[in-house]
Amino acid sequence: MAEFRIQKKTQLTFDQAIARLPDALKAEGFGILTQIDVQATLKEKIGADFRPYRIFGACNPKLAYRALSMELEVGVMLPCNVIVYEGDDGKAVVAAIDPMATIASTHPGLNVIAGEVKFALQRALSAV
């Protein structure tokens, strides 16, 4: 199976990783547009208990503009999802969609932009 994400297992707690992520993304030109607390949502909507898990919708406006200018409907894959969850060992795992497996497949010219997004996300995850 092809990889669809980039991932880093940390030595941080979930709360520590959540605290570091916004600055790590900001340093790479991303802002956080949305944040979903999956644990709380599942508890509220269906009464299910779930591990700490957050989905962040991250966007780099300059790269998004370039991609949208090339392929208008690439917006269905924006923003880039970045997740933080508590692993079985109690340590945080951070992961992001791999734009080379998603965005790059939509239009040949998007490979360069998708590569730039991927490397920026990798640097952000490394900084968490």
Token pair recorded at residue 51? 């591990």
Domain boundaries in the chain?
5-127
Quick: pLDDT tens for 3-57. Answer: 889 999 999 999 999 999 999 999 999 999 999 999 999 999 999 999 999 999 9
Q: What CATH code would you report for 5-127?
A: 3.30.310.70
Token pair recorded at residue 120? 């920026």
- Cis peptide bond upstream of 52, omega within 30: no
Q: Full-prediction pTM beyond 0.75?
A: yes
Sign of CA dihedral 62, 97, 78, 67: positive
Quick: pLDDT tens for 56-78. Answer: 999 999 999 999 999 999 999 89
